[in-house]
Amino acid sequence: MEPDSKRRKTTEPDGTCAWEVRPVLSEQESREVRLMPVYAAPVLDKKETCRLMKEVSAVYPLSDYPHLKRIRACLSASSPHPLEMILCLAGLNGEQAGLRTLAELFPNGEVDLSGLGKPFLVHVPACTPLTRPQYEEAASHWPVSFHENKRISQALKGCLFSPLEKERMQGYMELAIQAAQRGARQGMVPVGATVVDPATGRVLAVGHDCREGSNPLLHAAMVCVDLVAHSHGGGAYSFQDYPACTFLPADNTSQPPPPLEDGLPYICTGYDMYLTREPCTMCAMALVHSRIQRVFYGAPSSHGALGTTHHIHSRKDLNHRYEVFQGILEDQCQRLARLSDHKESS
């Protein structure tokens, strides 16, 4: 139970962590590259490229697909022609895209077709790549433009957080795990949560799932949102029967109290939540309402709404978005999650 023994278990002798922080990206960022068919044709006479580009683009602008480069160079030595050019979309209306002749694709004679070879079908990326993995996948089909988001790339490479930050994150997750274990000893589903103000490093609340008590909606995240409300002089529930659910009273600090206009009642503004398990839809949306800044969870959950069934944290049509990372102390959290799945189904 002691944090010391736990640290030995999860930290390698050289001080590196035995777990990784992985970003949970939005639906658009994490989806597979979708392909669509287009007609392309080889450019047989390289000198005609510039003119062909201009004339073909005037007839088929492809303005909804600005990421697609019109021309690709065929680097392969075995390739009979050096360049290939996208002519137009194929089968947009859902009809079976068959082969077409140049005359069929440009029936009105707007394009001087000299220098173009026989059209062929090729599948190209349908959407702008948002992440480097998506870009690499997309570019393997056809050249695309890509504006790299450095922060996302760093996050995906696992170098967004320093070893010191990771050590702190481990400490916060250990508090959540301990709360989960203490809750479990009172018959609760073993899920725990910690709320931290990253600006000061202070732990504002630690709680565990209380759904087996009088209220089936008191999931760990809901408990912690209310504990934070208590720490700001509000709150709706009493947690006196659950000694592992604690909060930092506002008057007990050396820090000046947050200014009144600073987000009340959206009191989780700027805060981080550590959860042993991916939260459900209700909890994920509660964190949108509470304006949480970041959520770190240990293990995914089959009905989780931060990456598994929904991406509640990254929807453009909701009025708040937050960052989500998973994998902190994943092994330990996974063990707790297996216990809780068992408990919920029993």
Residues that bind other proteins (CB under 8 A): 214-217, 222, 225-226, 229, 232-236, 259, 261-269, 280-282, 285-286, 288-291, 302-303, 309-310, 312, 315, 317-319
Determine contact, residues 287/322, Cβ cutoff 8 Å: yes
Residue 148 or 262 having the CB closest to other proteins: 262
Type of residue at 3: P
Residue 109 or 187 having the CB closest to other proteins: 187
Instruction: In angstroms, give the least distance from the CB of 30 to other proteins.
Output: 18
Residue 181 or 194 having the CB closest to other proteins: 194
Residue 131 or 246 having the CB closest to other proteins: 246
Half-sphere exposure of 133 toward its Cβ, with a 13 Å CA cutoff? 11
Adjacent-strand bridge partners of 250: none
Instruction: In angstroms, give the least distance from the CB of 259 to other proteins.
Output: 5
**Backbone torsions φ then ψ of 105, nearest 5 degrees:** -75, -30
Instruction: In angstroms, give the least distance from the CB of 250 to other proteins.
Output: 11
Instruction: In angstroms, give the least distance from the CB of 147 to other proteins.
Output: 25
DSSP 8-state secondary structure symbol assigned to residue 34: P
Instruction: In angstroms, give the least distance from the CB of 305 to other proteins.
Output: 8
Distance CA 328, CA 174 (A): 10
Instruction: In angstroms, give the least distance from the CB of 318 to other proteins.
Output: 7
**Backbone torsions φ then ψ of 124, nearest 5 degrees:** -125, 160
**Is 319 exposed, middle or buried, given 0-12, 13-18 or 19+ CB atoms closer than 10 A?**
exposed
Residue 21 or 286 having the CB closest to other proteins: 286
Residue 223 or 329 having the CB closest to other proteins: 223
- DSSP calls for 247-280: E--GGG-SSPPPPTTTTTT-TTTT-EEEEEE---
Instruction: In angstroms, give the least distance from the CB of 85 to other proteins.
Output: 42
Residue with tokens 């930050």: 165
Type of residue at 84: E
Task: Give the CA distances from residue 124 to residues 73, 131, 310, in Å, rounded to whole numbers and listed in that order.
Answer: 15, 17, 27
In the structure encoding, which two tokens stand for residue 137, read together? Answer: 């996948």
Residue 177 or 292 having the CB closest to other proteins: 292
Distance CA 264, CA 203 (A): 18
Residue 78 or 240 having the CB closest to other proteins: 240
**Is 214 exposed, middle or buried, given 0-12, 13-18 or 19+ CB atoms closer than 10 A?**
exposed
Instruction: In angstroms, give the least distance from the CB of 249 to other proteins.
Output: 14
Helix (H), strand (E) at residue 228: helix 220-231
